[in-house]
Amino acid sequence: MHVGRNSELTSQAEAIRAHVKKQLLRIADFNRKPPPDLKRAANRTSDVNDPDMDGWIADPRYPEILEALPVAVYATDAAGRITFFNEAAAALWGRRPVLGQELWCGSWRIYMPDGTPLPHDRCPMAVALREDRPVRNVDAIAERPDGTRVRFMPYPTPLHDASGALIGAVNILVDITTLRVSGSPAQ
């Protein structure tokens, strides 16, 4: 893989991950309890850090923004149950996992880059949640139900509430199937 291209992908994924993490945390807080003044929150479009608003989400379009991202994004709760995924994630996986029931990843099957099967409970998202740390610089292969495979780089990142308690994780999956390694197509 070209180092410059890999660095560019990592940089882009990190920027998206940071934005998505911020929005998912706000959505999670918003869903736990309504803001002090829902009408006021819905009408605010600027300073979400206004102390009177207690940091509540100001733009009700955030879920739509996550859906519209052209990169695969999904989230889990602290136990690893998938709680959200966008259409790009469903397309990458070739399926739609059952929210609240399926664990760690929506892939039908996962393999290490050498083709060795990777149990879902050892996938990067499971490691990120179990060890409460971001997982970086790994890639894997997802097999879809139709047997096609896609090589991807995951960026699972634990999410914490204001008290520091682990509440889940967000993951961005970057499809690297078409990237070239040493001048030849990726496997």
CATH of the domain at 173: 3.30.450.20
Is residue 108 included in any domain, yes or no? yes
**What percent of the chain is predicted at pLDDT more than 70?**
62
Residue 186 resides in a domain: no
Q: Residue 34: which domain range?
A: 3-179
Total of domains in the chain? 1
Find the mean pLDDT for residues 161-176: 91
Say if 185 falls within a structural domain.
Answer: no
Residues 6+ apart with CB under 8 A from 150: 92, 141, 142, 144, 175, 177
pLDDT value, residue 176? 94
Inside any domain, residue 25:
yes
> 124-162 pLDDT, tens per residue?
999 999 999 999 999 999 999 999 999 999 999 999 888
- Output 16 or 152, whichever has higher pLDDT: 152
Q: Is residue 187 part of a domain?
A: no
What the block records as the tokens of 137 is: 């610089």
Q: Is the pTM of this model over 0.75?
A: no
81: burial class by Cβ within 10 Å (0-12, 13-18, 19+)? Answer: middle
Q: Is residue 184 part of a domain?
A: no
